[in-house]
Amino acid sequence: MNEDINKITYAFSALVESLYQISSIGHSGTINKTAVDYLLKGVLKTESVTSTSIYPLEQLKNGLSFFSDSSNMDSTALKEINYYIPSILKLTSVYTSNNELRDSLSRQILHIKETLSHQENKSLFVGKHIANWYTANISEPELFAMQIFGSKESLSKDANLIFIRALIISAMRACILWRQLGGTQLNLIFNRSKMAICAKRMLEVI
């Protein structure tokens, strides 16, 4: 049981980390390149089914803090993360129940992998292609709407919007992994204290 809690805590922390980065970009316009790069690489690792093989633990500090000590997290980010989580859970359900969407994203990911080595700015290339898929398949067809908060200045910049949209898919990827490992909404309610203990232990080794 403890091993299962560790796994789902790790995976859900990656989901939260994606949402934290969305909040940060939305308000400050600052893109944490290292954190975002690792999260977007996770979208490309479609064959992996373990959290540790997809996300480096040291890149999940904010996600782990959400469980272990959210009082130290920026209050605006914490409020927005709690607002975004139900949207990600719903978006993931929409995606996993739609064969056409799954096939379409798989093709996009394959294209990214096949052409990535030729790109000078790999981070922007991956972000653009994932964001374009989100726009074409989720937002423009109005299949799903997710309100993003932030400053007018930050949300008016194309580069910021690219990474925000890509990070929505990153959060969805982490949610899929979380569910594959046995994560449920009931875990978040009834095992929250156990998840907090796991997250605290993980933070101690970073």
Angle (CA) 127 84 168, round 5°: 15
Q: pLDDT per residue over 64-116, tens digit each?
A: 999 998 888 889 999 999 999 999 999 999 999 999 999 999 999 999 999 99
Cβ atoms within 10 Å of 190's Cβ, excluding its own: 10
pLDDT bin (cut points 50, 70, 90) of residue 3 is: confident
Q: Are 18 and 38 in contact (CB under 8 A)?
A: no
Q: What whole-number distance in Å separates Cα of residue 131 and Cα of residue 137?
A: 10
User: CA–CA separation, 94 vs 141, rounded Å?
Assistant: 13
Domains, the chain? 2-204 (1.10.3890.10)
Contact 77, 69 (CB under 8 A): no
Amino acid at 119: Q
| Residue 56: C-alpha distances to residues 49, 70, 108, 178 (Å) | 14, 21, 24, 16
DSSP state string for 14-41: HHHHHHHHHHHHHHH----HHHHHHHHH
Backbone phi, psi, residue 148, to 5° = -110, 135
Instruction: Read off the pLDDT band of 1 (50, 70, 90).
Output: low
Q: Across residues 21-39, what is the average pLDDT? A: 97
Residues in the chain: 206
Tokens encoding 201: 């232990």
Instruction: Read off the pLDDT of residues 189-201 as tens digits, 9 standing for 90 and up.
Output: 999 999 999 999 9
Structural tokens at position 147: 């309100």
State pLDDT tens for residues 105-151: 999 999 999 999 999 999 999 999 999 999 999 998 888 889 999 99
Structure tokens at 192: 């929250």
